[in-house]
Chain A
Amino acid sequence: MNKQDIPEELKKKLDQFAVETPDISLKKSLSHRIGSWITAPVKNPADYLSIHITPRRMALFPLVIIVSSLPFAFI
């Protein structure tokens, strides 16, 4: 298969994905990498809590603590 075999319509679409190359140095800078990692966007922790802690789970939380601490009462 050659590039010419690709339909023109599809070629036009593929050409829309242009990539700008940022300034990259040959030397690896650890501080720059750590900086990039720290400043990289992260998920909002509040979103994480809202997904995983439902009202039902919150209601069950004290019960879980009581049940899990029961064995200590017999020590």
Chain B
Amino acid sequence: MNSNDLEDLFNKYHKQIYQFTYRYTQDETLSSDVVQDTFIKFDKYAENFDPAKSHIRTFLFRIAYQLTMTKLKRKNKLKKLLPFLYETKQSETISLEEKLSVRAALTELPAEQRSVIILFYYHDLTQHQIAEIMQIPVGTVKSRLHHALKKLKQLLEADDNE
């Protein structure tokens, strides 16, 4: 793939990938790193991409999802080893206003449910595409989506009542 093609691809999809990673991690630096690494990795493994089997967008999201998981695992390990390098957990410093927001409700969801709801709602991906990105069966996507929506509804309704 030549550099112009890669740049076109970057211009077309980098915002979507940043938005997905940011909504998932709520970490600006990590999200920007994931965006850059996604395209570097895509450039490196472009020959593995088969347009007949998958859409380029799904393929990029899959790379971004895997990179996000790896970076989060690495970050958590470092956090355990050097806890003084990291800020106190966000939920401890969230203001009352912030507690009422969907942003806070999303962090309350289990990680696997959070990614499904973000991909489904904010990126209009089908359940089959989400299954492909997360490498899980479609049935699992359906059940995670159902539980995520139920929990989000409960969390946001509870906040409204407070």
Contact = CB atoms under 8 A, between A and B. Distances in A.
Contacts of B106: 17
| Range, interface on chain B | 35 or more
B71 to A, nearest CB: 12
Interface string B33-60: 1011101100000000000000000000
B9 to A, nearest CB: 9
Interface of B: 6-7, 10, 14-15, 18-19, 22-23, 28-29, 32-33, 35-37, 39-40, 83-88, 101-103, 105-106, 120-122, 124, 127, 142, 145-146, 149, 152-153, 156
Nearest to B105: A13
B84 A43 contact: yes
Q: Interface on chain A toward B: helix, strand, loop, or mixed SS?
A: loop
The B contact surface, by secondary structure, is helix
Contacts of A45: 84
A2 B23 CA distance: 21
7 contacts: A10-B149, A10-B156, A19-B18, A21-B14, A21-B19, A43-B86, A43-B88
